[in-house]
Amino acid sequence: MMAMSIFTSSTLPLAESLTLAHLKANKADSKYSHIRLWGSIGFIVAAILLGIMIDSIGEKSLIYALLLTQLVIFLLAFILPTKKVIFLPKKKRSIWPILKKREVVVLLLSCALMVSSHGLLYNFYSIFLEQQGYSGTTIGLLWAVGVIFEIIIFLLMPRILNKFTLKAVLLISLGFAVIRFFLIGAYVDSMILLFIAQVMHAATFGSFHVASIQLIAHFFYNEHQARGQSLYNSITYGVGGAIGGLGGGYMIEYSGMANTFMLSAILPFLGFMVLILGLKTKFKADLK
């Protein structure tokens, strides 16, 4: 898993950078969410099919499914549209002035706090539900519910970004995250409230991801685009995900899963406070 992560961790920021560059070149910045939703569709298919496969065939089916998926990704990489690169050897701007900006630090910190809570979710949510007696199929369907509403928000994002600043979208998303993680921990026995919590995935991942990607592209422009996306993924999904996964594991040992999920609501709350106090920009996505 470590070896696979080393060689695949760079694919996401490079793909994000290529996508944003392609959209900008074709004056279609608002279509990012419409492209990103295809990853969500893949997630739904995987969540439902693997839930059924694990119930009927066993856990080993997961390994073969992952192997097949990686092979398909490898083949598709050969036909990705390329980005036209213009080398400017005499104009090498350092990335440090951007990293030193207070708003950039605040944005990365709030994103890391949000993803830390999701690190707990991605690592332990299925295990938590299984311990409560939910079947693999039901767990897969709950994951699918979250991603279905994630797709809906991706389709609506151009309209949302036309009305709200990116900061407002991030703050609303963080607010929903506080409610979502408290509900998961406090009401795991209620299928209705678990369903509502999964609906909130539209905000806690969908709108939050689109808005943060757009802000990173705003701060890390031109030749820093790919490095900015790489730093964003490394700090938020790398460091944040590790804190959520490893720290969540230790918390579960001492407090149990229900209490850990409830306490994880503190992380997006802290991200909310950091963002509302530290991010002053009123930048809106370019939808022209």
Mean pLDDT score, 137-144:
86
Q: Residue 29 pLDDT > 80, yes or no? A: no
Most confident of 67-71, 242-246, 259-263: 259-263
- Model pLDDT, residue 86: 60
Kindly state the average pLDDT of the residues 106-116: 92
Write down the domain spans for the chain.
Answer: 14-278
| The pLDDT value given to residue 199 | 96
Q: What is the dotted CATH code of the domain comprising 14-278?
A: 1.20.1250.20
Distance CA 223, CA 100 (A): 17
What average pLDDT score do residues 52-74 get? 87
Give the pLDDT confidence score for residue 95 in this predicted structure: 75
Tell me which range, 65-69, 98-102, 141-145, 195-199, is most confidently predicted by mean pLDDT: 195-199
Instruction: Tell me the average pLDDT of the chain.
Output: 85
Q: Is pLDDT of 234 > 70? A: yes
When mean pLDDT is compared across 35-39, 73-77, 154-158, the lowest value belongs to 35-39
Least confident of 92-96, 230-234, 268-272: 92-96
Looking at residue 26, its pLDDT comes to: 62
Cβ count near 26 (within 10 Å): 9
Predicted confidence (pLDDT) per residue in 5-22, tens digit: 777 777 777 777 777 777
pLDDT level of residue 82 (50, 70, 90 thresholds): confident
Estimate to the nearest angstrom the gap between the alpha carbon of 251 and the chain centroid.
Answer: 22
Rounded distance between C-alpha atoms, residue 33 and residue 253, angstroms: 38
The torsion angle over the Cα atoms of residues 117, 126, 250 and 209, rounded to 10 degrees, is -20
84-98, 120-134, 221-235, 255-269: range with lowest mean pLDDT: 84-98
pTM, two decimals, is 0.81
For residue 281, what are the contacts with CB-CB under 8 A and spacing of at least 6?
103, 165, 166, 167, 215, 218
178-184, long-range: CB < 8 A, 24+ apart = 178/265, 178/268, 178/269, 178/272, 179/265, 180/204, 180/265, 181/117, 181/120, 181/121, 181/261, 181/262, 181/264, 181/265, 181/267, 181/268, 182/261, 182/262, 182/265, 184/121, 184/125, 184/128, 184/261
The pLDDT of residue 91: 62
Residues 162-188 pLDDT 10s? 889 999 999 999 999 999 999 999 999
